Amino acid sequence: NQAMNYLATGTAPQKMGNAHPNLAPYAVFDCADGWLILATGNDGQYQRLCALLGLPDMADAPEFLTNADRVTNRAELTRRLTEATRRFTKPELLAACEAQGVPAGPINDMAEVFADPQVVARGMQITADGVPGVRSPFTFSGADLALGKAAPKLGEHQAEVLGKG
């Protein structure tokens, strides 16, 4: 959308962090124990979000009624929604969003990343010669891309490289 906005208007996009230029709320929000992204793409999703957050007044408020209104009033919208999202843990809010059809996803810390079932199933965490590492995310049918050994230690092959070994 940033590219299309530029092509349509000739106006270069400004920094927005993780927010979406044309949709609101569509950004990172605090929870009691971490962060998640809410990605409402239409008025119905926004109304369901307000209901699950216990903010029915915001669903019908004139300043937030349509997506265009929410984009115009993004700062106040984000402030008020963040007050509500902070009352939930990340798993609670993700489950509530999923149950109500509100697009949302977790922002995982590294421990959560390596515990994620998809990361585990793909064997992304590896160990070679006792050194932990991350496997390439790319796989090819019938090809074993296993790491044979760890990267050399500092200076490990220095003598060989310099011809002194």
Whether pLDDT at 144 is above 80: no
Domain of 10, CATH number, reads 3.30.1540.10
Residues 28 and 9 in one domain: yes
Residues 38 and 63 in one domain: yes
Residues 97 and 36 in one domain: yes
Structure tokens, 113 = 């990343």
Residues 19 and 80 in one domain: yes
Residues 99 and 126 in one domain: no
Mean pLDDT of 16-45: 95
Closest listed residue to residue 107, CA positions, set 127, 85, 128:
85
Domain of 95, in residue numbers:
2-107
CA dihedral 100, 104, 110, 112 (to 10 degrees): 10
Residues 18 and 34 in one domain: yes
Residues 6 and 62 in one domain: yes
How far apart CA 86 and CA 21 sit, in angstroms, is: 24
Residues labelled catalytic: 20
Closest listed residue to residue 144, CA positions, set 116, 114, 123, 119:
123
Residues 128 and 60 in one domain: no
Which has the higher per-residue pLDDT, 154 or 145? 154
pLDDT value of position 147: 67
Whether pLDDT at 146 is above 70: no
Among 13-17, 22-26, 33-37, 157-161, the range scoring the smallest mean pLDDT is: 13-17
Domain count of the fold of the chain: 2
pLDDT value of position 136: 82
pTM, full prediction: 0.79
